[in-house]
Amino acid sequence: MCGIVGYVGDRQALEVVLEGLRRLEYRGYDSSGVAVLTPGGARLVVEKRAGRIENLDKALAAEHPAGIPGTTAIGHTRWATHGPPTDRNAHPHLDATASVAVIHNGIIENFAPLRAELEATGTELASETDSEVVAHLVARAMPAAGGDLAAALRQVCGRLEGAFTLVVAHKDEPGRLVAARRNSPLVLGVGKGETFLASDVAAFVEHTRDAVELGQDQIVEITADGYTVTDFAGTPVAVSPFRVDWDLAAAEKGGYPYFMLKEIQEQPAAVADTLLGHFTGDRIVLDEQRLDTQELRDVDKVFVVACGTAYHSGLIAKHAIEHWTRVPVEVEMASEFRYRDPVLDRDTLVVAISQSGETMDTLEAIRHAREQKARVLAICNTNGAQIPRESDAVLYTRAGPEIGVAATKTFLAQVVATQLVGLALAQAKGTKYGDEVAREFAAMEAMPELISQVLGVVEPVRELARDIAGSKAVLFLGRHVGYPVALEGALKLKELAYMHAEGFPAGELKHGPIALIEDGLPVVVVMPSPHGRPVLHAKLLSNIQEIRARGARTIVIAEDGDTAVRPYAHHLVEVPRTPTLLSPLVTTVPLQVLAAEIAQARGYDVDKPRNLAKSVTVE
Ligand code: M6R
């Protein structure tokens, strides 16, 4: 959940690293810091501050007005796990002689005994973090490792439990950085006469699009001229280089005040690009996914595992996959999955949905599933991330980089990607004829235009948002695929506007939640189509009347031309008519706008909500 950058080259490294940190700040923003190796290897200059990178910038300007000369540096932006976000706990951490600097992402689970061991032999630790022990252990391991930083780090990694990406600099090795990774992301950028290390490619994409994904339990040494990768035993390993398929413009705000607002606008393209090339005229083709037709035919049960917004896309997928294939689908929060002994075998397909491909809960869930012989198909937005790497198959969403912490365009892309999987399964199992599959795909292809239409009419939602920004809570109701949309609307509001927000299946209302309704309470209702789901539509109409009778202020998302709902809506947001299973692609959009706008009205940073980070790489 932290952002990590390392640079060796011929430029002034401080600037390169700071720029990289700014691009990675969405991964964690409790504190940040840098260490620069001064020329000649005289010393490591460290500067670090609690709070956003602006605080670090100010400290650097005050303490080092002429900059810090040096062409090798490391930098870190933190999401605190052990120890509060203070200057002392910010990374990099130094050993007692200030020879070794370390930055870390992950959790060192056995840090307590390691710390006790260091303290027992007279080492004073300067911070409360789990990470600092590594700096001291590496420094201590150096003599036995013959002064070789990589060998010392290798030795230390053998003693660490948990998840870590570590990047280590030594004052006597100015043109070299050594890094290790286990269970946390690390990617290498290969430029001309310069080499980068980072948690993700956003940190260096402006300098090079040639990248190398590091594997599990690997050590990489970088210099300006290149890199060497070995495993933890020191044996050289083959790596797979790749070319980043997006450029810097994709990772910039492009005139929007927040990334999230840009990403909401990018949703039609995210959906269109995710569908691109997946239908040949008579069949769904998921070439990249690596499961053959027989394996799909054998599937007799599907589990969807995911977290947060991705989990909500899974709830929608259940409706589509069961409807098209008649195969039972269970949707489970990844964090719960492996702790309850789910029934899995080789005919179970586990669909793991993750934007980042790094979420530890989801990663551990798929590891558990594969141990039980189930096949795992990842739906992921990040090429080469750990979850697709550890899966039997992968289908990439092509939403482009998502920088805002709140997931938006990747959610819509996940909805269509899961439906592609559903159609591929139906095709393999013969539960849908070719022409039916073709019709479903054509309906999906029409969605980008309909999403654009919604984006064109959300201005009243903005006004409404400003109007209800002072409310103490907002409830969201839906049924069928409208229920996950209600959950997603509530999640967006919680994470961005810090308001109490809950999503309920409208049918459950009378079993308890209706007690929450009081005069003026905003309640968002996601209406089903009066054409697609007339019975549910009628039921929800009754529910709206029930809550209005108790004073609720109703905000209704309904299909264009749904005249029956008009008398009961204090605020009506009309979205174009779509097939029911695709309706979340249009009904979610106003809820994203609502949450972003309320957050802005309340004065919060929409891209970096408090306490959160974009990728959750710890359990
Ligand atoms: O990268 P992932 O899709 O695995 O992330 C899962 C959740 O952490 C993520 O969707 C989170 O809920 C978002 N911040 C919601 O906007």
Of 412, 449, 437, the closest CA to residue 592 belongs to: 412
What is the pairing mode between strands 226-231 and 72-78? Answer: unpaired
Determine the distance separating the centroid of ligand 1 and the alpha carbon of 267, expressed in angstroms: 17
- Under 8 Å CB-to-CB from 160, ≥6 apart: which residues? 108, 110, 114, 134, 182
Q: Which of the listed residues 309, 356, 381, 591 should we mutate to test ligand 1's pocket, taking the one with most ligand atoms within 8 A of CB?
A: 309
Q: Rounded to an integer, what distance in angstroms lies between the CA atom of residue 340 and that of residue 351?
A: 18
Determine the distance separating the centroid of ligand 1 and the alpha carbon of 350, expressed in angstroms: 18
595, pLDDT greater than 70: yes
Of 610, 603, 611, the closest CA to residue 470 belongs to: 603
CB 282 within 8 A of CB 441: no
What pLDDT does residue 253 have?
A: 81
> pLDDT band for position 600 (50/70/90)?
very high
Determine the distance separating the centroid of ligand 1 and the alpha carbon of 439, expressed in angstroms: 31
Pocket-forming residues, ligand 1, beta carbon under 6 Å: 307-310, 354-356, 359, 362, 405-407, 491, 495, 615-616
Residue 15 CB coordination number (10 Å): 13
The per-residue b/e assignment along 79-112, b for 16 or more CB within 10 angstroms, e otherwise, is bbbebebbbebbbbbbbbeebbbbbbbbbbeebe
Q: Which of the listed residues 200, 305, 315, 355 should we mutate to test ligand 1's pocket, taking the one with most ligand atoms within 8 A of CB?
A: 355
Q: How far is CA 122 from CA 118, 119, 136, 159, 596, in A?
A: 7, 5, 11, 20, 51
Of 581, 268, 318, 611, the closest CA to residue 454 belongs to: 268
Question: Tell me: the pLDDT tens digits for 30-86?
Answer: 899 999 998 865 789 999 999 999 999 999 999 999 999 999 999 999 988 888 889
What pLDDT does residue 293 have?
A: 87
How many CA atoms within 13 Å lie on the side-chain side of 75?
A: 30
Q: Can you tell me the mean pLDDT for 281-287?
A: 83
Please tell me the residue having the least CA distance from ligand 1 atom 9.
308
DSSP secondary structure letters along 174-223 = TT-EEEEEEBS--EEEE-SS-EEEESSGGGTTTT--EEEE--TTEEEEEE
Please tell me the residue having the least CA distance from ligand 1 atom 4.
354
Residue % of the chain over a pLDDT of 90: 83
Crossing angle (nearest 10°) for helices 409-429 and 434-445: 170
Please state the three-class secondary structure of 407-426 as a single string: CCHHHHHHHHHHHHHHHHHH
Q: How far is CA 210 from CA 184, 191, 214, in A?
A: 20, 7, 13
Please tell me the residue having the least CA distance from ligand 1 atom 7.
308
Q: What is the pTM of this model?
A: 0.85
What pLDDT does residue 384 have?
A: 79
Phi and psi torsions of 390, nearest 5°: -95, 10
Active site residues: 2, 614
**Nearest ligand 1 atom to alpha carbon 612:** 14
- The DSSP call for residue 333 is E
Q: Structural domains in the chain?
A: 3-245 (3.60.20.10), 263-445 (3.40.50.10490), 453-601 (3.40.50.10490)
Please tell me the residue having the least CA distance from ligand 1 atom 12.
308
Q: How far is CA 612 from CA 54, 572, 597, in A?
A: 18, 32, 19
Phi and psi torsions of 509, nearest 5°: -45, -50
What pLDDT does residue 254 have?
A: 80
Question: Tell me: the pLDDT tens digits for 104-159?
Answer: 999 899 999 999 999 999 999 999 999 999 999 999 999 999 999 999 999 999 99
Question: Tell me: the pLDDT tens digits for 392-431?
Answer: 999 999 999 899 999 999 999 999 999 999 999 999 999 9
Determine the distance separating the centroid of ligand 1 and the alpha carbon of 539, expressed in angstroms: 32
User: Residue holding tokens 């269509």?
Assistant: 416
What is the pairing mode between strands 329-333 and 301-306? Answer: parallel
226, pLDDT greater than 90: yes
Of 168, 133, 165, the closest CA to residue 152 belongs to: 168
613, pLDDT greater than 90: no
What pLDDT does residue 498 have?
A: 97
Q: Which of the listed residues 1, 356, 362, 382 should we mutate to test ligand 1's pocket, taking the one with most ligand atoms within 8 A of CB?
A: 356
What pLDDT does residue 289 have?
A: 67
> pLDDT band for position 187 (50/70/90)?
very high
Question: Tell me: the pLDDT tens digits for 74-112?
Answer: 999 998 888 888 999 999 999 999 999 999 999 899 999
Determine the distance separating the centroid of ligand 1 and the alpha carbon of 490, expressed in angstroms: 14
**Nearest ligand 1 atom to alpha carbon 356:** 1
- Under 8 Å CB-to-CB from 534, ≥6 apart: which residues? none
